[in-house]
Amino acid sequence: MKLIVGLGNPGEDYANNRHNVGFMCVNHFARTHSIRFDKKQGKARIGMGKVENIEVMLARPQTYMNESGLAVSALVDRFNISLDNLIVIHDDLDLPLGKIRFRLGGGWTTHKGVKSVNAELGSHSFSRLRVGIGRPTSDEGLTYVDYVLSNFTPEENRIIDEMMPRVSAAILCFLTEGLTEAMNKYNQKS
């Protein structure tokens, strides 16, 4: 079974925040493949199904971002998921808005959700799909925390909406062709 986790913060107050783009991505993938988040398992909402005859579990941790690892490690343990079958989808300040990049592992990170997953799993040997949210401009006067916890603007929402089918296609590629092929196809500069 493959475990696909989108990171975010639970609750309506955070639903459209930049920090919740991981939730948005797994929600889009779930809709595309008719998977419903109809179960609660430990500290996560999950949906299970088959995509291209591959068993998948989609998860949205119900912890806050900084404790995402608690939910992820519980699912990995409960369902005996090997780390090469785990993909974590999260926002990334270092990528321009709407760009996506696969990455295997990665040590220390400033993303506290990923840092929590690394710590709770005791490893960083899992795949990540980084989703660009850009950085605040100097004239916005926002700290990084304020920026990631603010909502996308209407123009940014249009870019995110256009990006979602590409993210779902990238996840499908990861599932059916593996990480290397997904990186080759979706980590392009263009």
* Residues whose CB falls within 8 Å of the CB of residue 171, separated by 6 or more in sequence, listed in order: 4, 25, 29, 87, 89, 129
Both structure tokens of 24 = 């948005």
CB contact at 8 A, 121 and 82: no
Q: How many CA atoms lie within 13 A of 181 on its CB side?
A: 10
Catalytic site residue 33? Answer: no
Give the active site residue among 19, 90, 111, 124: 19
Helix axis angle, 68-78 to 112-121, nearest 10°: 40
CA distance 118 to 111: 11
Catalytically annotated residues: 19
